[in-house]
Amino acid sequence: MPEGRLIADKMAKCLTVFLVGAAGVVLFLIGIGLLVKAEPILGAKSLGDLLFSSNWRPFRGEFGFFPFIMGTAWVTAVAVVLAVPFSVLTALYLSEYAHRRIRAVAAPMVDLLAGIPSVVFGIWGVLAVVPMVRSLAMDVFGIPCTGYSVLTAGIVLALMVCPIVIHVTLEVLRAVPNDVRDVSLALGATKWQTTKLVVLRKALPGIGAAVIMGVSRAFGETMAVLMVAGNVVRAPDSLFSPAYPLPALIANNYGEMLSIPMYDAALMLAALMLFVVVVVFNAAAKLVLQHLAKGVQ
């Protein structure tokens, strides 16, 4: 006679395994959903036109994403160039040099800061970074600039990305076995030589993955960038020119997107672009990290 608890167990198995599958499929559902919504514009225009044309006139049905793509690229590049050296050096210090007590305080602090919402970063950008960049441009370089620019967005984003890159890099460095450090030190290498030639070399793929995760965070960040980038529809040509990245485009125009034909499809296409790039980046980073984790075991 089958007991109730055995039946419950069987049912639980079916339900949980089904939900595991469902959770795995969510990623694809989002991709397909965005693709379906973007289909009208993809069917009506050539992909080359959409990606490389600079004509953005939704009222006339012209949708050239080039200014926005370049805006995203500039802002992300500045953020990564600023964030990566600082983050990696900080992580190296915390993992290899810092006293255990400093590390015990600093590492949770960094994680705490990773949780600060992007609106708060944005408000700080408006408060502090915008005036700083404006005076830098006007007084030092003599370039007219409102302060809302590629550089401003890059600085704000860099600070948002730092905690993530530091966190992942710390984990990668922790996975480097202590034996290899000891061997190097025993052979007479200095601490920095050990760090540079042994630890860093072993951790390099993992640090690469950390950087990629940082890039994809910067890539899709919306609110902070929306508040400080300037939002002018023109491909930026310098650090001090305003930018209009893709996420800001979506966030700024959701209100009117249903009143203009094809506009909603265009914005969904922008979301799809972000989705595809981030998924590819993250998948690559995950594969690298998984490979490394296998090596440790």
Which lies closer to other proteins via its Cβ, residue 143 or residue 296?
Answer: 296
Q: Report, in Å, the least distance between residue 169 CB and other proteins.
A: 12
Strand partners, 62: 57
The minimum distance between CB 140 and other proteins, in angstroms, equals: 20
Q: Where are the beta strands (DSSP E) in the chain?
A: 56-57, 62-63
* CA-based nearest residue to 89, from 12, 152, 165: 165
The torsion defined by the Cα of 129, 134, 139 and 143, in degrees rounded to 10, comes to 140
Residue linked to tokens 């951790």: 203
Tokens of residue 116, six digits: 């600060």
For the CB of residue 237, give the shortest distance to other proteins in the complex, in Å.
25
**Residues listed for the chain:** 297
Contact present, 187 and 131 (Cβ < 8 Å): no
- C-beta of 46: minimal distance to other proteins in Å? 23
**d(C-alpha 251, C-alpha 119), whole Å:** 13
CB 81, min distance to other proteins, A: 14
Cα distances (Å, whole numbers) of residue 167 to 134, 174, 252, 263: 32, 11, 32, 39
